[in-house]
Every structure is written in structure tokens, then in C-alpha cells.
Structure 1
Amino acid sequence: MSLDNIYVGLDMGTTKICVVVARKNEDDSIDILGIGNVPSKGIRRGVVVNIEATVDSIKKALVEAQRMSGIEVKTVTAGLASGHIKSFNKRGTIAVKSSEVTKQDVDRVIESASAYNMQLGEEVLDVIPQQFILDGQTEIKDPVGMNGVRLEADVHIVTGAVSSAQNIIKCCEKAGIVVDDVILEQFASSQAVLSEDEKEIGVCLIDGGGGTCDMAVYKQGAVFHTAVLQIGGNHFTKDLSIGLSTPESEAEDLKKEHGCVWMPLVSDDEFVDVPTVGGRPPRRVGKPVFTQILQARAEEVFHMFKGELQKHKLLELMGAGVVVTGGFSNFEGIEELASEVFDLPVRVGRPINIGGLTDVVMDPRFSTGVGLAIYSAKKGKGGQKISRGGEDKVFGNIFTRMKGWMSEFF
């Protein structure tokens, strides 16, 4: 098998490390060949806090993915989690040098819109054009070749800690692989679970992980807004641990087995056996009590995101509604609760438009990993023929490419 058409996504989350191996076929369809999924050690809220533990987790995930796919993984496209990410919209304006807009004019107006006084250790990770405006005419996607005098650009700027990306690359190098590209995780998830029609009409993607919940809003095919909440699946686990007086490890198992966030789906005669501490026998707790704890936290997350949409006057623009993905979306009743909070259509986002091991990766937990592989395949990034290079060189190349995302995502 030729390795030139093999692409790999690496999702380094707070609770899991996931490696997804994909093949791009001649007709541009994508098949999933293998997946490695192991508990994450050494990452908190998307930031590496223990390099050796993270490296060990990456190696274990690689072994699983390579065994399932039969492919030796050399390069990956990695996800950049959002615990340190900030984003905002800006507009830039220039005068067109000649009567016809050129590619150089587009570059200049985007550069004008991207001017930003960064703090120490901060880097502009992404500049995503939303629309161009030429002499007052709005919603232009590509102004090159058009006649005009005044060119404006609305862009979405994403910034983050440069050290976070450096540590991801360092961990991968120590695990014996090269990071060929880095992409923000909510953008990766959108590659896997959103249709182009949804992005055009207007859709809000909520990606709930173990350490954070990320939001990306699309309109007219472009990213209009992103936001991050420092609340994730681990907070649900801690709520259960405290509310039910049970160890966090037991609370995590209970959450996965009985997790429900919509009270109308449970009845008073349903009970859950809750392990206790100190050798005491398990206690029987009514399922409504269990559900009430989880629903309260889920409502908090959705109301905070709804407030974010209202603040930026985006709620009424979500014609395609809300798509919820990530491990957070596996709670029973998540669609019903989100629909009530947002008063919009809601669906759970699972990877779409893929072949191969679809039954394995249909879990929303794998949306980011699959999206990273899809992005890599679409852009021709990360083919396994790429040779290993030095960390500094790799990091420099990645940030050069990151600054070129403006054309790839628009």
C-alpha cells in the first residue's frame, strides 16, 4: 500500500489521546483505517502539564492505531486545544492601488485587519476572513479582479500561547513522530460533523471535551465567532462525586453508564447503586437525583453559550441550529435540553462522509480526531512519506502554515 495517501490525526485531550489513521482514495473519499484511543495522562484543559506522561500516552495510542491499520505512523496533524485561546473580530480598510483589486490588495487588507498588540508569549494562530467589502458592497468572498476604490475585510482572529503549541510538538517528537500541521480542535471537529450547507446557512458547533467546552459559529461558510468555557466532562464527574459522596473514579463510571441531563426521561421508580467509601455497602439513589445534578451543569454550559451568542447578536442567525459533539454529547437527553435552552433545532454531531471503520468512529468522542485526519487529507498535509526534522524547524514551518489558514478555511 502506498503511504502517500495515508493521513493521521492526533487529538490530545484532557481525558483521552486519540490517533486516527485515514486513507484518501482516488475519488477523494476518505476511509478510516484504524484508531488508537487511550486515557490521557499529563494534559489539563488542553495544556501539557507533564511531558513524560503525555509522551507515554501518545506512544500507547500510536501502538493501537498502527496495530489496527497496519500502517507505521510517521507524521500527524495535531489538535490545538482551547484552554488558552482568545478570539475576536476586526475590520481592516485600504485604498485599492489601481482600479482593479489584486491578490496583493487582498493580502494588504487582511494584514491591516490583523494588526494586534500581542501580550508576551502570545501568538496570532489564525486569521480567518469572513467577508470582503468593496465600495460598500458586502458579502464578497473573493474580490480579486473586481473594480473599486475602497477595500475592507472583516476577519476573525484567534490568538493563543505559543508555548502550548511548542509543547505539543515536543511531546510528539519524543514519541517518535513529526507534527506536520496544527489546527484548532473546534475547527477540526467542524470538518468531521458539519455540512457545507449548515456552515452557509448559519450553525453553532459546541464541542464538549473533558477539560473545556468549545464553540465555533459559522455563517456564510466562514467562522464568525469562537469561544471557550473552562468547563468540561471532568466538572460533571466532580459534581456527581460531591453530590453523591462517592469517589471520582466511581462517579466517572456512573456518569458514563447512567448519564442523563433531561428530567422528563427518568421516573421516580428508577434507582442507581452508588458506591461509597470506607468499605460501606453501596447506596441506592433515585435516578431523578442523579439526573438533576448533571442537568444543572449542562444547563449552565448551554446558558453561557447562549449568552455568548446573544452578546454578539448571532443567535437569530443560526438558521441550521446547534450541533453538539464531543463526549459531552453522549448524555441521554442532551438534544432535548439544548433545544429548550437555545429554542433552536439541535442534533448530535457524529463524523459524516467517511468510509472504512465507520462503526468504530461514529462516537461523537472521536469527532476531533476524525476531523484532524479529514483536514490533513483534504489539504494534503501529513502524508507518511515526510521525513523527520528538527523541532525548531518543524515549529517554524507549522506557524508559517498556520498563518496561511486564511485561504484554506475561507
Structure 2
Amino acid sequence: VQIGLSGEEVSSTNSTGQVKITDREVTFTDIEKALNMSKTMKVPNDKTLLYALPNEYLVDGQNGITDPLGMSGIKLEARSHLIHCSKNTKENILKCIRSVSKSLTVTNFYFNQLGVAEVILSEEQKKLGVCLIDIGAGTTDISVYVNGSIFFSKVLPYAGDYVTERIALALDIPQGDAEKIKKKYGCAFSDIASEDILKINVSGSPHTVSRKVLAGQIEHSLSKILAHCISCLEENGLINYIPGGFVLTGGCANMEGMVNLGEKITKNNFKIGKPENNLPKKSSKLLKPEFSALLGLVKFYALEQDKEFTFNQSKGIIARVLEWIRTEL
């Protein structure tokens, strides 16, 4: 069983490990030691390390090095992005899996946003510098890639469900109905929304609502979410490290006017990311932003088994998983 994690239980930080270079030439052993040193940062007792992802190396202070093997110098530093999760959350998930069947074994825990990046971002975008935003139902995941590697990640506790809640409150309707209205008639930018009066059923009773009024509520809520994303980047000094702009994925990315709103709030290049990287043509049902995390989990697992993996060449269990997903949609 492969588990994808997100939520407030996941946190991250950057850390540095430093070692003396053996015989003044960087070896595999030196790199491994430096990476291991970068993992030793003290974390709260209730957290456990999921990943230590190297984002750059320094040799005698020279930065921006992705592969220091064979370089001459005295001191090697490894800068890593550390991702932690709650020990209790991890243990509770394991207990839940065991309660389903004792024959099931959890082989890996993945951070969803790493998988999402694998199916959404190109290597060129990662090298240029880009911010990936995944607005799901319960959380908004942010990650920044600089020089090809993940440099920053953050999970915010408000996302699509927050938008639904605001619609429900504004229109005085149940959240279930608000969710249906959002998906069917939603628009993220009120300036382009029509003046149409929508006839809707709310708990079996007929109601009417202006689509422009609905769009105004959605725009206000999504603006707050995007503004929080910008604040995270500004607080961490990253706003000038993303010349590639922003890429949005997740369920909300499908909404009309999302690019208009994104460009207005971020004042930067803003694109919608769909999971198109190496997916076979017959998987067109899956080429939607809301499936990014699911496909990312599949690909991230496959890449750990085969570094040359592509969806087009998938076979065995991966092919069966993709076929099952397609047939269940």
C-alpha cells in the first residue's frame, strides 16, 4: 500500500549539512555524509522525517552545484529540503490499514505535492523557478522549485471546501447544494460572469440566484486563498525566485476565470496545470487538474521502482491501476 500525505500534519524546512572533503576531491561518500548531516536538524518530538531532498551543493562556498562529484575543494555543504509529518498521524494511518487486513503492508508514505509536480511541471519550469499551487478540497499545497529542485513547501488549511462554505453562508443553503452549484455554475472572476439568473433546486425546492453574484462570492474566497499563498512566498523571501510564475492545479483549477483571477492577485504569469506529462492518449479522462494528486502518487511510486518510467510505457501493476482508474470514472 502506498500512502499520499498532505494536510496540516505535514511540515517542511531547509537544512544544511557540512563535511570536510576527502583528499580534496568530492567522492560519493562525501556526498552521502553531507546529506546525512543535513538530516540531523532537531525537530519536535511529535514529528518524523519523511524526506530529505537535496536542492543544491556548495564546494568551498560556491553555490548552485547540482552534482559535486569529482570537484576539488576542502569543504562540501549539502542543502536539503526536509519534509516531516506527525508521528501520530502516521501511526493512525498504519493502524487503519492493519484493521482492514493484516495482509496489507504500507511500503511508503509520499508527500502528495512531490507527486503532483512530477505530472504537472516540466524540468524547464523547475529550473527556471516556479510556484506550484494545488487547491484541493480541504487543503491548498504550495511548493516552489528553484534550479530544478524543491526549495519550499507549505500546506494551508483552506481550499475548495472553504469556497463552498462561503457560498452556503451567503446564499443560506446547505453545503451539499452549494458544492453542486459551485461545480456546475461557478466562475472565479465576476467581471466575466454573465448576468444570467440561475434556476436551481435546493433541498428539493426551486431557488434563483444571479450567476454574477455567485461569481462574486467565489472570487472573494479564492482571492483570499491566493493572497495567503503570496504572503507565504513574501515571508520566506521567495517572490523574486519564480520567474516562471505560478502553475495552478486541483479541482478549483477547472473553474472559468481562474487564470484571470490568478493574474490579478499574483501580478505574474499564471497557468493551469493538467497532468499531461507522458500520459497515454487513451487516458484522456484523467487529463484533469483534479486527478493530479492521484496520478502523482502512481508516478512517484513507479519512479522509485524505475527511474526511466513513463506512463506511455507502463505495464504490470501500474498499467492495471491506470486501467482501473479509467473504468471507475
2:120 pairs, out of 188, 193, 199, with 193
What TM-score, normalized by structure 1, do the two folds share? 0.70
Corresponding residue of 2:309: none
1:347 pairs, out of 262, 271, 278, with 271
Distance 2:66 2:207 in 1: 60
Equivalent runs, 1:201-280 vs 2, <5 Å: 201-268=128-195, 270-276=196-202
> In the alignment, does 2:215 pair up with 1:288?
no
- Structure 1 residues 54-107: Cα deviation after superposition (integer angstroms, max 9, x where no partner): xxxxxxxxxxxxxxxxxxxxxx43211232111111223222242112222222
Corresponding residue of 2:110: 183
Distance 2:10 2:226 in 1: 19
8 Å contact kept, 1:82–1:184: no
Corresponding residue of 1:158: 83
Corresponding residue of 1:309: 233
Q: Secondary structure at the match of 1:358?
A: helix
One-letter code of the match for 1:77? Q
Distance 1:332 1:170 in 2: 41
Distance 2:220 2:253 in 1: 15
What TM-score, normalized by structure 2, do the two folds share? 0.87
8 Å contact kept, 1:246–1:274: no
Corresponding residue of 1:325: 249
> In the alignment, does 2:34 pair up with 1:109?
yes
Between stretches 350-359 and 223-232, larger displacement belongs to: 350-359
Corresponding residue of 1:128: 53
For residue 195 of structure 1, report the CA deviation from its aligned partner: 0.8
For residue 266 of structure 1, report the CA deviation from its aligned partner: 1.1
8 Å contact kept, 2:6–2:155: no
Distance 2:249 2:219 in 1: 17
Runs of 4+ in 1 over 6 A off after TM superposition: none
8 Å contact kept, 1:246–1:275: no
For residue 123 of structure 1, report the CA deviation from its aligned partner: 0.5
- Structure 1 residues 160-214: Cα deviation after superposition (integer angstroms, max 9, x where no partner): 1123233334434444544332210011111111111111111111011111000
For residue 227 of structure 1, report the CA deviation from its aligned partner: 0.8
- Structure 1 residues 282-315: Cα deviation after superposition (integer angstroms, max 9, x where no partner): 3322112111111111001111111111222222
Distance 1:273 1:228 in 2: 37
Distance 2:316 2:4 in 1: 17
Distance 1:294 1:165 in 2: 34
One-letter code of the match for 1:273? K
Corresponding residue of 1:358: 283
- Structure 1 residues 3-26: Cα deviation after superposition (integer angstroms, max 9, x where no partner): xxxxxxxxxxxxxxxxxxxxxxxx
Distance 2:42 2:77 in 1: 20
Structure 1: stretches of 5+ with no match in the other structure: 1-75, 386-410
8 Å contact kept, 2:51–2:84: yes
Sequence identity, in percent? 28
One-letter code of the match for 2:190? M
Distance 1:370 1:356 in 2: 15
Distance 1:245 1:346 in 2: 33
Distance 1:86 1:108 in 2: 24
Q: Secondary structure at the match of 1:316?
A: coil
Between stretches 376-385 and 202-211, larger displacement belongs to: 376-385
One-letter code of the match for 2:303? K
Distance 1:158 1:136 in 2: 25
One-letter code of the match for 2:77? E
> In the alignment, does 2:19 pair up with 1:94?
yes
Equivalent runs, 1:380-395 vs 2, <5 Å: 380=305, 384=317
Structure 2: stretches of 5+ with no match in the other structure: 307-314, 319-329
